[in-house]
């Protein structure tokens, strides 16, 4: 997932200036995928209410919006927190990261719940400090660069391992079983990835700020913020049409189906809805054209 696009940046500028058309465009652009995500966890009316509240929450806090993550990621984060609130109000125990009901397996993961939905994490409070903000920006860039390097080299097995660590937050044992590796091999790959990220940080930060590896908790938070391995919507469209190279098709299938990325699944569901609507409209147009002569 990329940083804030120029199109989204322009929309935000319009909204901040009080341009209603900019707000209408933003809702039109994102409401489909947000509703698709919410309907996976809530009944239709509750899902639509949650999306509406997410939009209102974003609008109320737009002056505080920063472009460290994509607008889509930011909106999904607000919506996910609202869904968690709704489910918890009904007495359900929910994983704040996935919006799913908590399971015994989830409770075993010491790195889950990296940020409570109702408040800032420890690093969230620290981000108010300018120095920390610079470090966080540098860490985001380093993570993106490492993901891009693995993608460019078509090292999808390594990328899957890293996604299991930071996206799914699986234990080394579970990753080893899925990839037919030993736990030691998984730990080594993970260690090398973090070392490469630390090396990238050392190139842009003062030595005093980059002489140690970034804490894994912070890596998890930043990963969740920028979602560096989530494909662009245009790439998901090519995946749906099966027009990508085989390696990419297989990898995105892993990301969406096996890894279970709910945000990418919501995008694909929304695309399916749009395609259905286009097909229905095309058929309607065909019927109209074939019968228009009867009205002359």
What average pLDDT is seen over the chain? 80
pLDDT at 145: 93
Q: Of 152, 135, 165, 149, which is closest to residue 68 (Cα–Cα)?
A: 135
Both 196 and 152 in one domain: the answer is yes
* Residue 296 covered by a domain: no
Average pLDDT over residues 268-276: 88
Tell me: do 121 and 224 sit in the same domain. Answer: yes
| Cα separation, 221 vs 123, whole angstroms | 9
DSSP 3-state of 7: helix
240 vs 253: CA distance, rounded Å:
10
- 2: in domain: yes
Length of the chain: 296
**Domain-located, residue 241:** yes
Q: Is residue 38 part of a domain?
A: yes
The verdict on 225 and 235 lying in the same domain is no
| Residue 98 reports pLDDT greater than 90 | no
pTM: 0.73
Report whether pLDDT(160) > 60. yes
> At which of 108, 136, 170 does a domain end?
108
CA distances (Å), origin 138, targets 46, 64, 199, 243, 244: 39, 21, 11, 34, 31
**Is the Cα dihedral 187, 193, 196, 201 positive or negative?**
negative
pLDDT in tens, 164-195: 999 999 999 999 999 999 999 999 999 999 99
Q: Final residue of a domain: which of 86, 108, 130? A: 108
| 104 pLDDT tier (thresholds 50, 70, 90) | very low
Same domain, 156 and 186: yes
Rounded (5°) CA angle 67-71-74: 90
pLDDT score of 268: 94
Q: Report whether pLDDT(96) > 80.
A: no
Domain end residue (candidates: 81, 108, 135): 108
Q: Are residues 216 and 235 in the same domain?
A: no
Same domain, 97 and 123: no
- Band of the pLDDT at 112, cuts 50, 70, 90? very low
Q: Average of pLDDT values for 125-150?
A: 77
Q: Residue 30's domain is classified under what CATH number? A: 1.10.1740.10
* Token pair belonging to 21: 């058309």
Statement to judge: residues 246 and 275 lie in one domain: yes
16 with 50, same domain: the answer is yes
117 vs 241, residue with greater confidence: 241
Q: 85 with 39, same domain?
A: yes
Looking at the fold, whether 144 and 197 belong to one and the same domain comes out as yes
Co-location of 243 and 278 in the same domain: yes
* Residue that is written with structure tokens 């409401």 in the block: 31
Is there a domain that residue 150 lies in? yes
Residue 66: is its pLDDT beyond 80?
A: no
Q: What is the pLDDT of residue 41?
A: 87
Q: What six digits make up the tokens of 274?
A: 């749009």
- Give the per-residue pLDDT at 193: 94
Structural domain span for residue 251? 231-291
Q: Are residues 128 and 194 in the same domain?
A: yes
| Number of structural domains in the chain | 3
Say yes or no to pLDDT of 253 above 50.
yes
pLDDT band at 296 (very low <50, low <70, confident <90, very high): low
């Amino acid at each position: 997932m990329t940083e804030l696009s120029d199109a989204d940046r322009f929309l935000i500028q319009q909204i901040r200036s009080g341009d209603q058309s900019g707000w209408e465009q933003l809702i039109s652009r994102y409401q489909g995928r947000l509703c698709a995500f919410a309907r996976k966890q809530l009944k239709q009316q509750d899902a639509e209410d949650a999306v509406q509240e997410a939009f209102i929450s974003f609008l109320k806090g737009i002056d505080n919006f920063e472009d460290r993550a994509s607008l889509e990621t930011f909106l999904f984060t607000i919506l996910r927190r609202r869904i968690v609130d709704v489910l918890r109000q009904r007495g359900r125990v929910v994983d704040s990261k996935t919006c799913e009901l908590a399971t015994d397996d989830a409770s075993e993961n010491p790195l889950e719940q990296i940020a409570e939905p109702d408040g800032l994490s420890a690093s969230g409070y620290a981000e108010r400090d300018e120095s920390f903000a610079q470090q966080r920006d540098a860490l985001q860039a380093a993570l993106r660069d490492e993901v891009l390097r693995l993608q460019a080299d078509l090292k999808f097995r390594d990328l899957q391992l890293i996604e299991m660590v930071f996206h799914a937050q699986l234990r080394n044992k579970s990753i080893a079983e899925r990839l037919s590796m030993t736990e030691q091999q998984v730990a080594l790959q993970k260690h090398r990835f973090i070392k490469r990220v630390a090396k990238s940080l050392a190139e842009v930060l003062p030595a005093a700020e980059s002489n140690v590896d970034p804490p894994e908790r912070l890596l998890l938070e930043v990963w969740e913020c920028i979602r560096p391995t989530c494909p662009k919507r245009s790439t998901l469209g090519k995946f749906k049409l099966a027009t990508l190279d085989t390696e990419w098709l297989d990898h995105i299938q892993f990301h969406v189906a096996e890894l279970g990325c709910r945000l990418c699944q919501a995008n694909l569901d929304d695309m399916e809805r749009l395609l259905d609507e286009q097909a229905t409209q095309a058929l309607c147009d065909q019927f109209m054209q074939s019968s228009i002569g009867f009205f002359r």
